[in-house]
C-alpha cells in the first residue's frame, strides 16, 4: 500500500498569514498520463470532509483561490495564501493512484 | 441540490452484522461511482470501498475484505455497505461519498456520516 505522511501534524496560524502543509507518498503517484493522483480534503470541526484540490493542483468547484496545490511524484504541498478563521480544521492528503486509496494522517490547523 | 444521507448505524456486538444505507438525491445516481470512507473516533480518514456505476467493479481495503460488502440499487438511488464479523476496530463514523469523475477519483460530495459502535 502507498503510505502517505504529512507535516506538520499541527499548525497554529495567524489570520492573514500564509500557511503551508507538506504531503509525501511512499511511492510516486504520478500516472503515465502525466497527472498526479493526489487530492486534498478539509474537515472542518464537526463536519464531513470537503474536497479542496484534485490531481495535485486543481481547485475544486467553489474553493477560494487562496488555496493552491503543487508538487509532483512523491512530494506535494498545500498552500493557503492568507489564512482566514473559516479555514480551521484538519487537512488530509489522499492518494488515488492505486487501490487501496490512502489518506495522510491529517494536519490540524487552528488559530493562534 | 446534491444530498447524501447515511443511515443504519448503531451499537452492535463483536461478531455482529449491520447494513448501512446511503440515500442519494439531487443528481443522477446511476451515473456515478460511489464510495465509503470511515473515521474512527478522534482519528483520521480511512477509505473503505468503492463501486462502479453498474456495480460491475468493486474494490475495498484489505482489512474489510470478506467481511464488508458494498452494493447499490440504482432504481432506489441507494448505496449500501453490509458489515459482518464486526470487530471493535470497526467502530467509526461511516461516510458515503460521490466520485465526481472516475478519472480524477475526486470525492466531491459527502454525507453527514453514520456512527457504528462495536462493543459488548
Note the pLDDT of residue B103. Answer: 87
- DSSP class of residue A60 equals P
- CA of A77: how far to CAs of A6, A104, A106, B17, B19, in Å? 9, 13, 13, 40, 38
Cβ–Cβ < 8 Å for A8, A62: no
Please give the order of strands across the beta sheet that includes B18-25.
B3-7, B18-25, B78-83, B68-73
The residue among A28, A33, A8 whose CA lies nearest residue A90 is A8
Length of chain A counted residue by residue: 112
Distance separating alpha carbons of residues B60 and B37, to the nearest angstrom: 10
Residues of B in contact with A50 (CB under 8 A): 110
Model pLDDT for residues A36-69, shown as the tens digit of each residue: 999 999 999 999 999 999 999 999 999 999 999 9
Q: In b/e form, how buried is each residue of B28-43, taking b as 16+ CB within 10 angstroms? A: ebeebbbbbbbbeeee
Q: How high is the mean pLDDT of chain A?
A: 97
Beta bridge partners of A95: A38, A102
E strand or H helix that includes residue B85: none
Give me the pLDDT at residue A111, please: 93
**Pairwise CB contact (< 8 Å): A51 & B44:** no
Q: What is the mean pLDDT of residues A2-25?
A: 97
For A74-86, what is each residue's pLDDT tens digit? 999 999 999 999 9
Residues of A in contact with B106 (CB under 8 A): 39, 51, 54-55, 60, 96
What is the number of alpha carbons within 13 Å of residue B116 lying toward its C-beta? Answer: 30
Which pLDDT value is given to residue A63?
98
d(CA B109, CA B119): 30
Q: What is the pLDDT of residue A48?
A: 98
Tens of each residue's pLDDT in chain B, 120 residues = 999 999 999 999 999 999 999 999 999 999 999 999 999 999 999 999 999 999 999 999 999 999 999 999 999 999 999 999 999 999 999 999 999 988 889 999 999 999 999 999
Tell me how close the Cα of A2 comes to any Cα of chain B, in angstroms.
Answer: 12
Amino acid at each position: 500500500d502507498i503510505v502517505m505522511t504529512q507535516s506538520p501534524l499541527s499548525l497554529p496560524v495567524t489570520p492573514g498569514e500564509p500557511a503551508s502543509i507538506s504531503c509525501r507518498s511512499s511511492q510516486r503517484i504520478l500516472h503515465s498520463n502525466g497527472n498526479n493522483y493526489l487530492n486534498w480534503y478539509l474537515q472542518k470541526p464537526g463536519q464531513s470532509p470537503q474536497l479542496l484540490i484534485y490531481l495535485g493542483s486543481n481547485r475544486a468547484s467553489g474553493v477560494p483561490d487562496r488555496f493552491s496545490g503543487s508538487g509532483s511524484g512523491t512530494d506535494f504541498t498545500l498552500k493557503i495564501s492568507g489564512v482566514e478563521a473559516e479555514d480551521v480544521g484538519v487537512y488530509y492528503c489522499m492518494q488515488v493512484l492505486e487501490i487501496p486509496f490512502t489518506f495522510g494522517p491529517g494536519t490540524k490547523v487552528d488559530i493562534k | 441540490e446534491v444530498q447524501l444521507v447515511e443511515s443504519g448505524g448503531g451499537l452492535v456486538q463483536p461478531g455482529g452484522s449491520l447494513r448501512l444505507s446511503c440515500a442519494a438525491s439531487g443528481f443522477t445516481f446511476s451515473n456515478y461511482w460511489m464510495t465509503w470512507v470511515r473515521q474512527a473516533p478522534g482519528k483520521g480518514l480511512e477509505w473503505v470501498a468503492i463501486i462502479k456505476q453498474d456495480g460491475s467493479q468493486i474494490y475495498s481495503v484489505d482489512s474489510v475484505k470478506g467481511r464488508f460488502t458494498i452494493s447499490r440499487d440504482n432504481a432506489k438511488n441507494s448505496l449500501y455497505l453490509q458489515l459482518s464479523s464486526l470487530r471493535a476496530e470497526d467502530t467509526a463514523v461511516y461516510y458515503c461519498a460521490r466520485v465526481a469523475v472516475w478519472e480524477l477519483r475526486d470525492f466531491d460530495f459527502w454525507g453527514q456520516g453514520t456512527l457504528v459502535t462495536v462493543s459488548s
